A and B are shown apart, each in its own frame.
Chain A
Amino acid sequence: MGHRPGRVLMRVKVLIVEDSKASREYIASTVEAVEGIDAVVTSSGFEALKLLPRHRFDLIITDINMPDINGLELINFVKKNPNYRDVPLFIITTEGREQDRDRGMALGAAEYLVKPFQPGSLESLLRRYLKLP
């Protein structure tokens, strides 16, 4: 389930969870700019919980500060669930939220990005984790 290494020819699917619309669009366009990735976006942790069983995501990118369930709770949910726990997960944080970031990493997030970030840095991380050329 989830992340399958070595897959190059199949398209991969990335879930983006971010409540700010403009940020979401920015992240999505960065993700979609990478050849071979489809982005699925949602504005809330709740929606993410609904989407998880219906798709097979290869990677998840989540914000921490969100209204319904916070990003940490989402990470915990993903990482504790045998169906999803292998899916690599990136956190997007903003400067100054180090404690939240550290907790996210402790819960099993693979990487974190601090807003504002360069598209290039997200792109290279995506390529690395999704084993894209």
Chain B
Amino acid sequence: MSPASKALAEFVAEATEILEALGKDLLVLDERRGQEADPERVNGIFRAAHSLKGLAGLFGQERISRLAHGTEDLLDRLRLGKLLLDDAVLDTLIEALDAFQALLAETAHGSESEGLSRRAEGMAERLGRLGAPVAARDEDPLDRLELDAQVRAVFTEYEEHRLRENVRRGVSLWRVRAAFDLSDFDKGLADLNARLKPLGEVISTLPSAQPGGAHGIAFDLIFGAQVAQAELESGLKGTPAELSQLTVRPSSASARSAEALSRAPLAQAESHAALVVASPTDVLPQTPATRRGGRKKGARATPAPAATAPGARAGDASHPVVESRRAAAPEARADAGPPPGPGPASQAWLPLADPATWGARPGPASGDWALSADETRSGVEATEGHEEVAAGRGTRPARGPVGNPGAASVVEARSQGGRGPGTSGPVPSLVTYLQGPGGRAPGRTAPASDRPAAPAPVPAESSLRSLTQTVRVDIGRLDGLINMVGELLLIKANLQRLAESARVDGAVPLSKLFGQELARETRGLERKLEALQEGLLEARMVPVGQVFDKLARLVRRITREAGKEIDFVIGGGEVELDKLIVEELSDPLMHLIRNAIDHGVEPPEVRLAAGKPRRAVVALRAEQKGNHVVIEVSDDGAGIDELRVREVALGRGLITFAQAEEMGRRELLNLIFLPGFSTARSVSELSGRGVGLDVVKNNLGNLSGIIDVWSERGKGTAFHLTLPVTLAIIRALVVGVSARTYAVPLNSVLEILSVQPGDIRTLERREVLDVRGQTLPFVRLSRLFGLPERPVSRYFVVVVGLAQERLGIAVDELHGQQDIVTKPLGGRLQSVRGISGATDLGNRRTVLVLDVAALLEEGMAQERRRA
């Protein structure tokens, strides 16, 4: 690799990592639309964009750098509270991610298309214009904080903003001082941070400028506590932390506020519990996009008897939220402008302080939902800048969204039953992002004829696969491997010594002791090599959650497009699989999930009519079962009608009547995986199930996995994908048939039987065995591969199984077990059924490796053909 291409590869790898992290964070924001964003998350996204900008700049990737600049700029305004995160902003960020991905793909392939350049350029420009500014405040709350100017001088703009926010909300602020040993202070700090996190926000970590002795170092953490002092103290027990509270001077209006609070009735607390948003800021929605139907925040601006003011509860540590923002006094609303939004559905939602604040709200909850954005806005402005209210100039007309025509359509679409921007406007193509640019093997995806006739078809060349083949390895694992190599070197030294002494002693017959020593070292070598192999395999493992996360973003997108209401549930994301398998899994899973959403799940009205909950559940779960991982894609939708499947299969001549008569429910359902089963017509007939499922099945087959379906009318459908944990090195059973040798992956071998020819019986013209009262389908490998059959007195039957399928494979000889590395067969041999690859057995003999999944299918197909 040339230095230039190596540098480019490094750039792509790191940029990919950054984008992945960014995508993950955006997903969380997307999931929690309408709630206030966690400042740390927004800052994380900002940092990602910031790193990307720097990185792209250094590598001369101007297009990415420019877009990153625009993105960073927007995020900077967000995290500094100068801009609020509404739907339009979030959608644009998701769109920007899509653009980044596309740009990076072009970079990786060394191309640069003008269309994309223009798109990125336009995107960057839009980012710059996006969003409504947050109203400026007159008073800087930071001025009320008594903090050494020198300390303040080391805060970044962001840290300063977070500090300001905490002061403004009346959070009690602490200086947590802790001294650690220089050698492991990071561990100590990490521990301290872990304890502090649940109790509030660590705003800044300052290494103390005072030399902490020869081997020590002290830190000051500026901490905004969401809990009372006692709880904070008990939470820090056992750490070297010392607490001292930072003084915040009360603001001028606090006295009045305290009085108002003391009169406040608590009756409203429960009825408004649902309205509480995690932690509020002044980031107040002003664009129509944030006004979403049914959000009962309008009551937030309930007329209050008097303008109350923040700071009232500064001394009350058990209620850390100080500001009671309910100064939406009637006079503030009086001169509000005409409502710009379409009535009740467009109430602005307002950030709330804390349940305590709700409980303390004075005055009647008027149930006045029809507040306009202006009104609500004025309410908050009044609270934020309470002095303004007191001065009697409460309201200012709301500033509409600036240069963001998309926002209005977003609102409209949302208020009509959750159809999102995907259908209503030029907003993002998360799908395209998810599909990623230029998947590695477009040829493997479904042919056009098999595509769903869904309203928004996925482009055929789509893939969720990663751009790079990089695997990030946990440093602990890597260290373990390096240690093992060290131990191997030790054993090598011992063996060398033994060899040396054997050489020097020459003709002297080797002693028994020597032999024992040699055997011991060899055993040690073997054990270590095994451990090393295992360790290396582990290093290839990545959590399936990686692909689940990508899919979750897709689900949100499709759900919106399809007008369905779906809760997407993910489980077992921590289950690890070979990186290669995880990558290849994304497309089949995407297929299945799209089917579930588009066709499995009924529209909300239909569900309600059927007595089901309005919201459907689509679940994606992984579970490790021994050497395999089972991934389940399920929905609680309408299910598949196996009788319709039967009809379609008969109609297409895929099965005969006689076969159909014999088939059980499960067998009938599994017909949907047959090639040719799914066509455009069958899509509508079977509410779309079966779309490209043969392709899904083939994809899985390539991974030595199999797929199985369960479905019940009215209850739902579940697909089970059973996959090996790794493809790299596997243990194999070496067998002989007609003087040829084959390897069978041991992870799919269930047992081996010795069978007399007389034990084989024919049932419905197929050969079967009776094993412990069960009928086992049976194939002779020699017949399957068209090899000359030799008369034998007994067969060895290798019983293989994946998921529910079982098959007995008759072979002549068993040669034992061996670790093998399967190499793919190139060129035309690739499509030979029943063979997954070739391997070297070490004695320079190359043998073919059986593809168990394909054989299981073949066994079943044969049954059908023979019938």
Which B residues are CB-close (under 8 A) to A76? 150, 153-154, 206-207, 209
Selected A-B contacts with CB under 8 Å, 25 pairs:
A19-B51, A20-B51, A20-B55, A22-B10, A23-B51, A23-B58, A45-B207, A49-B182, A49-B185, A65-B47, A65-B156, A68-B189, A68-B205, A69-B205, A73-B205, A76-B150, A77-B208, A82-B211, A83-B211, A95-B53, A99-B156, A100-B156, A115-B53, A115-B57, A116-B60
CA distance A97 to B189 in the complex (A): 27
- Contact present for B58 and A95 (CB under 8 Å): no
CA distance A94 to B50 in the complex (A): 8
Q: How far is the CB of A98 from chain B (nearest CB, A)?
A: 9
B98 interface residue per 8 A CB criterion: no
With A67-B47, A70-B159, A76-B206 as contacts: A103 and B54 at CB distance below 8 Å: no
- Flag the segment in B69-77, B409-417, B708-716, B766-774 that touches A: B69-77
| Chain A residue nearest in CB terms to B12 | A22
Q: How far is the CB of A77 from chain B (nearest CB, A)?
A: 4
- Contact present for B54 and A77 (CB under 8 Å): no
- Contact present for B69 and A95 (CB under 8 Å): yes
B residues neighboring A (CB under 8 Å): 10-11, 14, 47, 50-51, 53-55, 57-60, 65, 69, 72-73, 76, 150, 153-157, 159, 182-183, 185-186, 189, 204-211, 217
Q: How far is the CB of B45 from chain A (nearest CB, A)?
A: 13
Q: How far is the CB of B852 from chain A (nearest CB, A)?
A: 42
Which A residues are CB-close (under 8 A) to B76? 96
- Contact present for A100 and B204 (CB under 8 Å): no
| Chain B residue nearest in CB terms to A47 | B186
- Which range holds the interface residue count of chain A? 35 or more
CA distance A79 to B206 in the complex (A): 13
CA distance A21 to B54 in the complex (A): 11
| Chain B residue nearest in CB terms to A95 | B69
- Contact present for A116 and B58 (CB under 8 Å): yes
A15 interface residue per 8 A CB criterion: no
CA distance A83 to B69 in the complex (A): 38
Q: How far is the CB of B724 from chain A (nearest CB, A)?
A: 33
| Chain A residue nearest in CB terms to B44 | A67
Which A residues are CB-close (under 8 A) to B209? 76-77, 79-81
A74 interface residue per 8 A CB criterion: yes
Which A residues are CB-close (under 8 A) to B189? 46, 68
- Contact present for B182 and A53 (CB under 8 Å): yes
CA distance A29 to B217 in the complex (A): 31
| 7 nearest A-B residue pairs (beta carbon) | A80-B209, A116-B57, A77-B207, A76-B154, A72-B154, A115-B54, A46-B186
With A65-B47, A76-B209, A77-B209 as contacts: A23 and B204 at CB distance below 8 Å: no
Q: A76-B150, A106-B153 are in contact. List 17 more A-B contacts (CB 8 A).
A: A22-B11, A45-B207, A50-B183, A70-B154, A72-B154, A74-B207, A75-B154, A76-B209, A79-B209, A81-B209, A95-B53, A103-B153, A103-B155, A103-B156, A115-B57, A116-B60, A116-B65
CA distance A65 to B157 in the complex (A): 10
Q: How far is the CB of B151 from chain A (nearest CB, A)?
A: 9
Which A residues are CB-close (under 8 A) to B51? 19-20, 23
Q: Mark each residue of chain A from 1 to 31: 1 if its CB lies under 8 Å from any CB of chain B, else 0.
A: 0000000000000000001111101100000
CA distance A25 to B65 in the complex (A): 18
- Contact present for B73 and A72 (CB under 8 Å): no
- Contact present for B58 and A115 (CB under 8 Å): yes
Which A residues are CB-close (under 8 A) to B205? 68-69, 73
A59 interface residue per 8 A CB criterion: no
- Contact present for A73 and B206 (CB under 8 Å): yes
Which A residues are CB-close (under 8 A) to B211? 81-83
Which A residues are CB-close (under 8 A) to B217? 49
CA distance A68 to B204 in the complex (A): 9
Question: Which of the residues A21, A69, A116 comes within 8 Å of B207, measured between beta carbons?
Answer: A69
Q: How far is the CB of A46 from chain B (nearest CB, A)?
A: 5
| Chain B residue nearest in CB terms to A75 | B154
- Contact present for A64 and B206 (CB under 8 Å): no
Q: How far is the CB of A28 from chain B (nearest CB, A)?
A: 12
- Contact present for B72 and A96 (CB under 8 Å): yes
| Chain A residue nearest in CB terms to B80 | A99
A107 interface residue per 8 A CB criterion: yes
CA distance A96 to B51 in the complex (A): 13
Question: Which of the residues A70, A96, A99, A107 comes within 8 Å of B69, measured between beta carbons?
Answer: A96
Which A residues are CB-close (under 8 A) to B65? 116
Which A residues are CB-close (under 8 A) to B207? 45, 49, 69, 73-74, 76-77
CA distance A67 to B50 in the complex (A): 12
CA distance A68 to B59 in the complex (A): 25
Question: Which of the residues A73, A94, A97, A116 comes within 8 Å of B157, measured between beta carbons?
Answer: A97
